[in-house]
Each structure stands twice: as structure tokens, then as C-alpha cells.
Structure 1
Amino acid sequence: MASDTVLLVMDMINDLVHPEGMGAKTYVPLCRERGVYENTVLAIRRAREAGTRVGYVRVGFSPDYAECPPGSPVFSKARENGLFILGAWGTEVFADFAPQEGDLDIIKHRVSPFYGTRLEPFLRAQGIGRLILAGVSTNGVVSAAVREGHDRDYACVVLEDCCAGATKEEHDYALAGLRRYAQVTTAAGVEF
């Protein structure tokens, strides 16, 4: 099964999940409380041991924020707060989840990992049919990946213990809505 599967670790960047990142107050408390750091390390290790490809999806904008939508309730404050600058420390993958040479690296400029990115052409070219998903936020990139992945005929699996929202309620509500479109499991329970 490993050859048709990819583990996507999404928006696990320093700006969002590093304790000293710009957005640390938003996601770090719930990531710590839920064991997201340890579980994500476990998922990546298990995927690599099974021969499953690992990919990373990172939100980011050029230093002049040319791709940043000024009216977006999600991204409009990025420029003002110096968030998500490509090439800066903040958009690097959190060191505990460090990519290895040959891992997929997708840069996105919106919530969705599919919109305006090279993700789908890569998945189609590699014969990937199953997406295992981890990241922040559960109600943002994870939800978008599941819904869009489902509609593109990918089998989607959410590793709920490798995800977090800004609040427990956001996380729980997102998962409740995603169960219709994806299998929901854990880092220890997923079959790679």
C-alpha cells in the first residue's frame, strides 16, 4: 500500500508550531496538550519505515506579499505581523518534523493545499491515491485537504492526534464534519 500513499504534514512551520514562533499563542498550547509533537514524529517515522513517501505543505508569501489576499480574514494580517515570509525561519518546517532530501515540498498561498500549487500534478504523476493528513489547523488546511482530496477521488485519512485547531472546540467540530469524507485515526493506529 505504501507506493500509492503519501503522508502530508501541513503547515507545521515555525511561525505556527514553534514555541517561539509568531503564532505560538494560537497553536502551541493545544499541540502540547494533545501530544501533537510526539504523535507527528511517530507518524513520520512509521511512514518512512513503511516506505511511504512524506510530503510537506507550507503556507508562505514572497517578501512583498504579492500573493497575499488583502481582504482575507485568514491572511490579511500576515503582512502587518511579518508572518509567512518564504525563505525566512518562520516558514521552515518545525525541526522535530524535519524534511529529508527527496521529500515533497509544496508551497501554498491559500488555505487549500491544492489551490494554485503543484500538489495534484505530483500526486497524479506518482500514482498516489491515498492521502494521510496531519497539521494545523484542523479546521483550516486539514479540512480543505480532506474536502478537496475527496472531490478529486483520493482516499483521505486524518491523523487526529497529529492535528490541532486554535481551540479544542475548533478541532473537535472540524473532525466531526470530516468523518463523513475521511477515515479518522491516530499516528499509532494508521496503516501505512
Structure 2
Amino acid sequence: MTENTALLVMDVQQGIMNRVTDPGYLPRVVRAIDAARRAGIPVLYVVVGFRPGHPETTRRNRTFGALPAGVFTPEDPGAAVHPDVEPRPGDILITKRRISAFAGSDLELVLRARGIDHLVLAGVATSGVVLSTLRQAADLDYRLTVLTDGCYDPDPEVHRVLTEKVFPRQADVVTVEKWASAPA
């Protein structure tokens, strides 16, 4: 049933997308978003973001502690969602402070308020936000679908292992085309 489903488009931001080398990636994500909208499935954009000065980070965090000042803050153009998949009125923007979409965000509150219990995941990187979000969402008892070609990782072998061997233990793993033909 689609009424309890949401599509999460994660970390598809200007400063992250400039590292994506697959020219077909964004068109596939657009296809997933269009299919979700046609089916009445809410689209939630999850972005990494910090306050000016990064008070949410620490040098102990290898991922975020070394970021240059100003990166992924409201003033940073790289923090914006890529214009090819730009949110529309009615879409929900979730700002996270760590790798998982749940970490430091109000995602779970938004999902509970809307009665959503099935998450469809797309994003960059497969080994980052997708993996971390999938693991946490599974522990929170969400039903999960991963759009294998709606995810991207700079290491194709890591992407393959995760989507073929790890994710199927906790999620349905399908292509954007298959999901878009009957989103649920």
C-alpha cells in the first residue's frame, strides 16, 4: 500500500553530486521522484547541514570534523539540493547532522506524524547515508525498499556487495524502473 510509504532522496546535494560520475544517476532519481508523486507517495529530501561554525561537529568525527568552515551551512551553495531533483511545494526537507538520515534530525517524528512505516531509499553514497539509514530504520521496524540504481557509491564493488548481499537481509532491493512501474 502506498499510503504508508515515503521516498527518501538522501544527500543529493550540489556539493556531493559533483563527485558522482554516472551520468544516468540523476535521471533515474528523477524517474523515482516522478513515480512517487504520481502515486501520491510523499517525497522527503534528506540533506546534511550544519549551523555556521559547525557547532554540531567535533574533530573526533573523521567524516565531519575535518570539513572546512562554511561547508554544508545555509550560506554554502553546495548544501542545496541538486536542481534536477529540486523539492517542490509539499515536499519535506529533513536536515541531518551525521551520516544516517535519523541522526540529529526530526525524520522519525515526521514519519510517525504521517503514519509512514515503509521507506524507499535512494541517495549518495550507498556505503554512507543509505547503509546507515537502512540499518537504523530496520532497527526501528520500518519496512524498507532500496532502489539499487537510485543509489550511488564511488566504489562500484562496495555498491554491488551492499545491494546484492547486505541490503537484501533487511530490505527489498529493486531497480528504479521496477519500482516506478508499481510503487509501493
After TM superposition, give the deviation of residue 174 of structure 1 in Å.
2.3
CA distance in 2, matches of 1:40, 1:87: 26
Distance 1:178 1:79 in 2: 32
Q: How many residues align?
A: 180
CA distance in 1, matches of 2:101, 2:173: 19
Structure 1 residue 52: Cα displacement: 0.5
| 1:10 and 2:10 are equivalent in the alignment | yes
Q: Which amino acid aligns with 1:64?
A: G
Moved over 4 A (4+): none
Work out the CA distance in 1 between the residues paired with 2:136 and 2:11.
Answer: 17
Which of 106, 112, 115 pairs up with 1:118?
106
Distance apart, 1:60 and its partner CA: 1.2
d(CA) in 2 for partners of 1:68, 1:164: 25
| CA distance, structure 2, for counterparts of residue 166 and residue 76 of structure 1 | 21
Hey, what's the Cα distance between the residues in 2 that align with 1:51 and 1:88?
A: 32
Matches within 5 A, 1:49-128: 49-79=38-68, 82-128=70-116
The percentage of counterpart residues that share the same residue type is 38
- Which SS does the other structure have where 2:176 is aligned? coil
Distance 1:174 1:83 in 2: 28
Amino acid at match of 1:10: M
Question: Take 1:132 and 1:60, find their aligned partners in 2: how far apart are those partners?
Answer: 22
Unaligned runs of 5+ in 1: 18-23
CA 1:28–1:117 in 2, change beyond 3 Å: closer, same or farther?
Answer: same
Matches within 5 A, 1:149-188: 149-175=137-163, 176-188=165-177
Determine helix, strand or coil for the equivalent of 2:56.
coil
* 2:32 pairs with 1:40: no
Amino acid at match of 2:15: D
Q: What is the TM-score when the length of structure 2 is the normalising length?
A: 0.92
Does the residue aligned with 1:135 lie in a helix, a strand or coil?
strand
CA distance in 2, matches of 1:181, 1:87: 37
In structure 2, what is the Cα distance between the partners aligned to 1:118 and 1:177? Answer: 27
RMSD between superposed Cα atoms in Å? 1.3
Report Cα offsets for 1:61-115 as digits up to 9, x if no partner.
11211112322221122126x5322342111100010101121111011001112
Report how far residue 37 of structure 1 moved. 1.0
In structure 1, C-alpha distance between the alignment counterparts of 2:171 and 2:2, rounded to whole Å: 18
